[in-house]
Amino acid sequence: MEMLINVPETVVADALRGMAAAHPELTVDVENRVIVRRDAPVAGQVALVSGGGSGHEPLHGGFVGPGMLSAACPGEVFTSPVPDQMVRAAAAVDSGAGVLFVVKNYTGDVLNFDMAAELAEDEGIQVAKVLVNDDVAVTDSLYTAGRRGTGATLFVEKIAGAAAREGRPLEQVEAIARRVNESSRSFGVALSAVTTPAKGSPTFDLPSGELELGIGIHGEPGRERRPMMTSGEIAEAAVDAVLTDLGPSNPVLVLVNGMGATPLLELYGFNAEVQRVLGERGVAVARTLVGNYVTSLDMAGASVTLCEIDEELLGLWDAPVSTPGLRWGM
């Protein structure tokens, strides 16, 4: 097993210790697995809390900071965090304005965040939840009932985080988060399988010279397996799958996201093809983000997420943000 780790059992704890050392603007509780912005709670602001299995960095811990998340709860690799983590995070960041849980649609995450919301409300914390389910590739997979939550999570956390920073009340922040999710669709492609530290070998079989269309961020099966395609052909398949479901009439935000092992040279080339296809399909692009944001450990591949926007959502997207994984305007 060729990984830059000590032992599989301490991978998450070691990463959290390293994150704490690199980002003094965050409070990282390694033992309880909670990452909180150091200035929390922020008076008068709704707090955003998210989380999920580790292995998707910078999601979610890398998006904690002004203009985005107030706290994040990392689970073990590809494993949901537990309700105690979420309650601890909510209590640490609640200013009295309420807490919004941002939940990707995976069964463990949904169940644990639901339980955490009940426990937090028992402690007097007002909680709202938004479910992210943007993946158009498949319905009902190994980890989900319904569509998987993938790249749109970044759009929800950023735009809702900006609304919270403006001091909007909980019901408005929740409504904006739901609107972003409803306006977003994603499609991913794997060029290689993912290897988890615990297993030490690929979690599924993807022969050389083949790719999987519609893959999930845990290596879940996609729509179909094909012989290797060019970047342009992959862009056409991904964008058309998204547009068939979304059908935007307004400009879109574009996220060209790497799955962890695809270099930026390839991602920028892939983005050129995505932009070409969008232009040919008559879709206007307002903003584009390219990079590794919602990853799957060492999987090679990429995903495309589109979010149809209006002036309000674009303004919130452009608003300043300062996190380890996303930063502009500050």
Enumerate the active-site residues: 56, 218
Helix extents (H) in the chain: 11-22, 83-93, 107-122, 152-165, 170-182, 231-246, 264-280, 311-318
8 Å CB contact between 275 and 285:
yes
Can you tell me the distance from the alpha carbon of 214 to that of 221, in angstroms, rounded to the nearest whole number?
Answer: 7
8 Å CB contact between 273 and 235:
yes
Distances (CA, A) of 217 to 148, 194, 221, 260: 9, 9, 10, 10
Instruction: State whether residue 257 is helix, strand or coil.
Output: strand
8 Å CB contact between 300 and 202:
no
CB atoms inside a 10 Å sphere around CB 17: 13
Task: Give me the phi and psi of 223, to 5 degrees please.
Answer: -75, -40
Q: Which element (helix H / strand E) includes 132?
A: strand 127-132
Distances (CA, A) of 261 to 37, 214, 233, 295, 296: 28, 17, 20, 9, 9
Indicate the Cα dihedral angle 238, 242, 244, 247, nearest 10°: -140
8 Å CB contact between 187 and 121:
no
